[in-house]
Structure 1
Amino acid sequence: MSYRLDLTVIEQHDHQSRFALTLHNLTDRPLDGWALHFTFGRWISADTLTVGSLEQVGSYCILKPDADAVLAPNSHFYTEFNVGTSPFTLFDDGLLDAFISTAAQDSFITPLPVEVTTINLHAANSERFNTPLPAAKAINLIPEPQTLQRLEGYFRLTQHTAITQAHEAAAGSCRWLQQELQTLLHEPLPVRDKGNITFQHCAQMTEGAYHLLIEQEHIWLQAGSEAGFAHAVSTLLQLIPVKPSHQAQAAYALPMVEVQDAPHYGYRGFMLDCARHFHGIERVKFLLDQLARYKFNTFHWHLTDDEGWRVEIDAYPELTRIGAWRGPNEAIVPQFTTISQRYGGFYTKQDIRDVIAYASDRGITVIPEIDIPGHCRAAIRSLPDLLVDPQDRSKYRSIQGYTDNILSPALKGTYTFLTNVLDEICELFPAPYVHIGADEVPAGVWTDSPACHALMEEHGYTDPKELQGHLLRFAEQHLASKGKTMMGWEEATDGDKVSKDTVIFSWRSEEAGQKCAQAGFNVVMQPAQYTYLDLAQGFSADEAGVDWAGKLPLDHVYSYRPLADLPQDDPAHQRIKGVQGALWCELVNNQSRFEYMLYPRLLAVAEIGWTAPENRSWPDFKARLNGQLTYLDKVGINYRRCE
């Protein structure tokens, strides 16, 4: 490598740290008129640089040396700066990516590659956190069912097995089972008038409940709903051994069991961020396979953010032509990783229809998230004529380091944009919900805008936060006119304008969710401290992930019990509709890391949502998890090893 970049911690305090940055020229040629481009997950105090000047947009930084500075061969450039941050504990806190440009490239940048070394932390490295697992049980279902009775004997699953023609409520589950069994048996399983796998519709069974009976000659899957049949299939699939009992005949010996089961929470979700890093359709479908296997019933698809717009909108082709891509020569500057090249992608409407159908067969509802009024930089950069108010002089900086990512509630174009986008989203997604984000609108926004001042005066608003409520109320009412219920992060309640029909997702803390539930909102609990799977899984510096909400090892995930400290007779419990895990993807840009962050913690989230707290046991879960690892190995999932 011709150039190397080092970052070293000089000193650390509770809320302020000082760093040294060194760029090495390892070539035999001088570097003239250069600029260093790098990404860093914290906001650098540019006025503290000892040498050079810095511009920063989000994580993307451009550092230029003093005028006419030349980096001689086999020499280095050195500067120091401050960051308002607590002490770093992870290598992932360091520089993410870098390249060099030269003055001759001002019109079109041709990046020169730079090797980024691991940050030199000003702290000792902790030992790796392990979770020793006891021996696996004979049957290892996750989530733990309400009742499981082991019977004597086995059912032999072979190419001669057939499925009885299914009730219409089981049609999707039947297709899913056929696909899974074809992979195992290497040929399609026939559907006949009379087979030895039978879906039985029992109208009296509650939503999501199922009964599974495996006998020596027959398998019965009983449910009263599409969801119940999907759950029965997920349990059946987990009972199929990883290896056939007779390799030549591809015969699998399933233990004879009787399972009676139903979910604890009606909503059991998982959110995937596809805006920060784009995840292709096959990756999404493989995730859906695992979500269904472990009885999640909702896929929350985070499709838009500052760093990328991922959903095709016919009314505004610019959103994907411009907003889906970032890079050194794009309208949207690079962020996070892969910064030296054009990076991005988006889902066509047909892609999304395929995912929705695929998820539906597996009992999963797909809920889109179109984030407003914050996290809108990709949209604003794509449609400046529609979404930029040139008279707005407000000064703000979002937590991610953007000064231009908030929609204006006083622009007519904002409402035109929302109407057209939400109309297409409502038509595309059959789910009864649309998530509109509403989080992380920074202080200072809309404070120096004549149009916003006029809007406040017109409606008698006294706090700029009320403008957020004004805009969200418009979105809520428009979605309602399309037969949809609005969902939002807990900040959707800011400005006190949305109705109690809006479903709130609590992410900042358990207490925030409790407050919203006690205020009368239906709530999905998603506190980062227990459910954000982008958080590091241990305490050693080489653990992948972030730690702004703390470290999140497997046992801490499993320990979560929503509103456990609240008396059981408190009506707020009735407002808790379920739980949700999440994977934010600022640092997740490949399949290996994607899986490493998810597994095995995803299985713990699954049990939190499905199994009643009084029926959960950490030692028992660990044993069952050990039994599940053979499946994760078989399908090639790169999970974090427990020991």
Structure 2
Amino acid sequence: MSFRLDFVVIDQQPDQSRLALTLHNLSDRPLCLWSLHFTLGRWINHTSLTHGKLEQVGSYCTLTPSHHEELKPNGHFYTEFTIGTKPFTLLDDGIIDAFICSNEGHAPLITPQPVEITAFGLQQPHRDRHSTPLEPAAAICLVPAPQQLTPLAGEFTLTPLSAISLGTPLAEGCCRWLQVELKHQLNEPINVHPQGNIHYQYREQLAEGAYQLLVEQDDIWLLASSKAGFCHATSSLLQLLPPQPNHRAETARRLPMVEISDAPHFGHRGMMLDCARHFHPVARIKFLLNQLARYKFNVFHWHLTDDEGWRVEIDAYPELTRIGAWRGPNEPIQPQFTSISHRYGGYYTKQDIRDIIDYAADRGIMVIPEIDIPGHCRAAIKSLPELLVDPQDSSVYRSIQGYNDNILSPALQGTYTFLTKVLDEICALFPAPYVHIGADEVPTGVWTDSPACRALMDEHGYADPMELQGHLLRFAEHHLNSKGKRMMGWEEATHGDKVSKDTIIFSWLNEQAGLSAAQAGYDVVMQPGQSTYLDMAQGDSADEAGVDWAGKLVLEQVYQYQPFADLPTSDPAHQRIRGIQCALWCELINSQSRFEYMIYPRLLAIAEIGWTAPEKRSWPDFTARLAGQFAYLDKVGINYRRCE
């Protein structure tokens, strides 16, 4: 490697840090007309550099030396700068990726040269890796814990001669799911036959989502009144299967005889996956859906658009995926986060999405799309500047992620044309009765120096530019309503006070945000970052993967979460809670291994919060059942974070 980059903290205060960056030329040639390109997740005070000049777009930084000075062989370039944020505690807080570009030949294109990045030099004392003591594995280890489970004496033996008796069309989807899973277990298909010994049967008296499961010596009975209930019964049945044959010579599987009566605590039990920051292939999403179904989640919230990528095919605007789905050093959208030296991206065709929706439906999971507006729209704006850019807007702002050009204008007709066409196609593509429109993190300063926005404010009597956000969201809500859809949004959707109480609010900043929305009359889904964000680091050790803006989030802390726990149970705000959700934001997640490490085993704790009533939850009991789940996670090759 010809170049090495060192990055260290040299002074750290509660709200400000001083850092030093050193670039070494390890080659035998001088480096002329050079620039260093790197990614850093925090905003650098550009005026604080001691040497060189810096440009930053999001996490993408370009550092050039003053006066075009060359970097001599075996020489180095040194600069210091200030970042005005909380202290750095994780190696992931440092420079993630970097390359050098030399324009000696004045080439119009950036030609990256690799750089070795040494470990981030933190001013932090060593902290041991967090460990979570577990109880010995339980004999029956269902997660989430069912309402009632009675062990019975004996076993049911599952063999390739077993068959499924499908007594109701409501179970057709989960029957297909069960067949797929049993084929993996037995290496032979399980047929559907009227005389089968695995019985799906309709029971009208059971509530929506509830089920009963009875495993006898010769028969298995799965009883429910709904598609959801049959899927929940199937997930419990699959968890009763041993991950490996009971004996090496056997192909059969022996299940413990049990009787289960069960129903969910919350109706909405979701996971949000960010596919905009890093693109996750279809196979990865399907594998995740399988695990979500196994642990009785019923919502997959799909974050499909953001500043760094547009991931859904839109026929009306092919530019959204031709341009907006890709980023790189020579692309309209600059590199971000990782893999910055080459073109990176991807998108889902409509057929990909239909396939995922059908796959999820068989497993009892509803797919809710998110098209994030009016902020987080840089990929769309870069793709369609002639439609979405107001050339007269001189407003100065910077989003929390470091962009000054990522907000739709409520005063452009093109914005409404764009939203109408995009939402029409999204509504036609996704059968769910909901569409999530984001609405988060619109910064102050936006729309303040736009003649068109000022005219729109005067027309409607708006006093605050932020009322324009409500104006735009109200349009989106009415349009979605006309398509038979109910709007969802992050808690900022209430800003501007223009959307109706029919909008469902997702709280993310903290618990209080959800409580305030509930008390104002909104239905809420609880997703506070401090308890449910799976991109948070899982302990204080510097080498833990993740971020920590909402704090470190260990397994015990996840399990302890209970929405509105301090409110009396009689408080009407409890009736506004539709459920809970976890989230995986993916700025730093670009591989299957890291994807799984951040999700598991915390996903199982979230599953129990959503399904099991608080009075039925027990940490020691959960850890015993969790310990029993690891054999399955090992069998399917999931890279979960070890507890001990």
Q: Normalised by the size of structure 1, how large is the TM-score?
A: 0.99
Check whether the contact 1:246–1:252 (CA below 8 A) recurs between aligned residues.
Answer: no
1:234 is aligned to 235
- SS of 2:24 mapped into structure 1: strand
Counting only pairs closer than 5 Å after superposition, residues 524-543 of structure 1 correspond to structure 2 as 524-543=525-544
C-alpha distance in 2 between matches for 1:365 and 1:203: 23
2:215 is aligned to 214
Aligned: 1:81 with 2:73: no
1:27 is aligned to 27
Aligned: 1:479 with 2:480: yes
- SS of 1:32 mapped into structure 2: coil
**Percentage of pairs with the same residue:** 71
State the shift of 1:485 in Å: 0.2
C-alpha distance in 2 between matches for 1:281 and 1:443: 37
The one-letter code matched in structure 1 to 2:223 is Q
Counting only pairs closer than 5 Å after superposition, residues 486-497 of structure 1 correspond to structure 2 as 486-497=487-498
C-alpha distance in 2 between matches for 1:106 and 1:484: 51
C-alpha distance in 1 between matches for 2:205 and 2:625: 31
C-alpha distance in 2 between matches for 1:607 and 1:125: 33
2:591 is aligned to 590
Counting only pairs closer than 5 Å after superposition, residues 78-117 of structure 1 correspond to structure 2 as 78-103=78-103, 104=105, 106-117=107-118
2:548 is aligned to 547
The one-letter code matched in structure 2 to 1:232 is A
Structure 1: 5+ residue stretches without partners? none
Cα deviation 1:158-187 (Å, max 9, x = unaligned): 000000134111010100000100111111
1:358 is aligned to 359
Aligned: 1:185 with 2:161: no
Greater displacement, 128-137 / 246-255: 246-255
State the shift of 1:247 in Å: 4.0
Greater displacement, 514-523 / 65-74: 65-74
1:436 is aligned to 437
Check whether the contact 1:268–1:296 (CA below 8 A) recurs between aligned residues.
Answer: yes
2:582 is aligned to 581
C-alpha distance in 2 between matches for 1:165 and 1:628: 29
C-alpha distance in 1 between matches for 2:166 and 2:394: 65
1:278 is aligned to 279
- SS of 2:315 mapped into structure 1: coil
Structure 2: 5+ residue stretches without partners? none
State the shift of 1:105 in Å: 5.4
State the shift of 1:134 in Å: 1.4
Check whether the contact 2:166–2:201 (CA below 8 A) recurs between aligned residues.
Answer: no
C-alpha distance in 2 between matches for 1:166 and 1:181: 19
The one-letter code matched in structure 2 to 1:498 is V
- SS of 2:9 mapped into structure 1: strand
C-alpha distance in 2 between matches for 1:463 and 1:126: 47
Counting only pairs closer than 5 Å after superposition, residues 167-206 of structure 1 correspond to structure 2 as 167-206=168-207
The one-letter code matched in structure 1 to 2:66 is D
1:522 is aligned to 523
2:41 is aligned to 41
- SS of 2:139 mapped into structure 1: coil
Cα deviation 1:608-627 (Å, max 9, x = unaligned): 00000010001111111000
1:466 is aligned to 467
2:633 is aligned to 632
C-alpha distance in 2 between matches for 1:277 and 1:107: 27
- SS of 1:455 mapped into structure 2: helix
- SS of 2:330 mapped into structure 1: coil
Check whether the contact 2:539–2:554 (CA below 8 A) recurs between aligned residues.
Answer: yes
Cα deviation 1:232-267 (Å, max 9, x = unaligned): 000000000011124444100000000000000000
Cα deviation 1:163-214 (Å, max 9, x = unaligned): 0134111010100000100111111111111100000011221110000000
- SS of 2:67 mapped into structure 1: coil
State the shift of 1:107 in Å: 1.1
Check whether the contact 1:99–1:111 (CA below 8 A) recurs between aligned residues.
Answer: yes
1:504 is aligned to 505
- SS of 1:323 mapped into structure 2: coil
Check whether the contact 1:7–1:120 (CA below 8 A) recurs between aligned residues.
Answer: yes
State the shift of 1:68 in Å: 2.7
C-alpha distance in 1 between matches for 2:497 and 2:211: 41
Aligned: 1:153 with 2:154: yes
2:133 is aligned to 132
C-alpha distance in 2 between matches for 1:76 and 1:105: 23
Cα deviation 1:575-619 (Å, max 9, x = unaligned): 000000000000000000000000000000000000000100011
C-alpha distance in 2 between matches for 1:568 and 1:105: 69
C-alpha distance in 1 between matches for 2:195 and 2:387: 61
2:420 is aligned to 419
C-alpha distance in 2 between matches for 1:171 and 1:500: 36
2:514 is aligned to 513
C-alpha distance in 2 between matches for 1:32 and 1:145: 67
C-alpha distance in 2 between matches for 1:119 and 1:634: 35
- SS of 1:413 mapped into structure 2: helix
Cα deviation 1:94-132 (Å, max 9, x = unaligned): 001000111235411110000111110112121111001
Check whether the contact 1:165–1:194 (CA below 8 A) recurs between aligned residues.
Answer: no
2:340 is aligned to 339
1:330 is aligned to 331
C-alpha distance in 2 between matches for 1:620 and 1:408: 52
Check whether the contact 2:438–2:493 (CA below 8 A) recurs between aligned residues.
Answer: yes
C-alpha distance in 1 between matches for 2:451 and 2:248: 75
The one-letter code matched in structure 1 to 2:21 is L
- SS of 1:472 mapped into structure 2: helix
The one-letter code matched in structure 2 to 1:43 is W
Counting only pairs closer than 5 Å after superposition, residues 546-565 of structure 1 correspond to structure 2 as 546-565=547-566
C-alpha distance in 1 between matches for 2:367 and 2:446: 32
Check whether the contact 2:276–2:309 (CA below 8 A) recurs between aligned residues.
Answer: yes
- SS of 1:398 mapped into structure 2: coil
The one-letter code matched in structure 2 to 1:282 is A
The one-letter code matched in structure 2 to 1:47 is T
The one-letter code matched in structure 1 to 2:354 is R
Counting only pairs closer than 5 Å after superposition, residues 590-609 of structure 1 correspond to structure 2 as 590-609=591-610
The one-letter code matched in structure 2 to 1:6 is D
C-alpha distance in 1 between matches for 2:447 and 2:172: 51
The one-letter code matched in structure 1 to 2:521 is G
C-alpha distance in 1 between matches for 2:533 and 2:206: 34
Check whether the contact 1:49–1:81 (CA below 8 A) recurs between aligned residues.
Answer: yes
Aligned: 1:401 with 2:402: yes
Aligned: 1:386 with 2:407: no
Q: How many residue pairs get matched?
A: 643
The one-letter code matched in structure 1 to 2:267 is G
Cα deviation 1:66-119 (Å, max 9, x = unaligned): 113010111110000000111111000000100011123541111000011111
C-alpha distance in 2 between matches for 1:184 and 1:390: 61
The one-letter code matched in structure 2 to 1:82 is T
C-alpha distance in 2 between matches for 1:249 and 1:558: 37
Check whether the contact 2:272–2:301 (CA below 8 A) recurs between aligned residues.
Answer: yes
1:572 is aligned to 573
- SS of 2:37 mapped into structure 1: strand
Which runs of structure 1 show a deviation greater than 6 angstroms over 4 or more consecutive aligned residues?
Answer: none
- SS of 1:207 mapped into structure 2: coil
The one-letter code matched in structure 2 to 1:46 is H
The one-letter code matched in structure 1 to 2:402 is G
- SS of 1:67 mapped into structure 2: helix
Cα deviation 1:335-383 (Å, max 9, x = unaligned): 0000000000000000000000000000000000000000000000000
Cα deviation 1:479-536 (Å, max 9, x = unaligned): 0000000000000000000000000000001011000000000000000000000000
Check whether the contact 2:306–2:376 (CA below 8 A) recurs between aligned residues.
Answer: yes
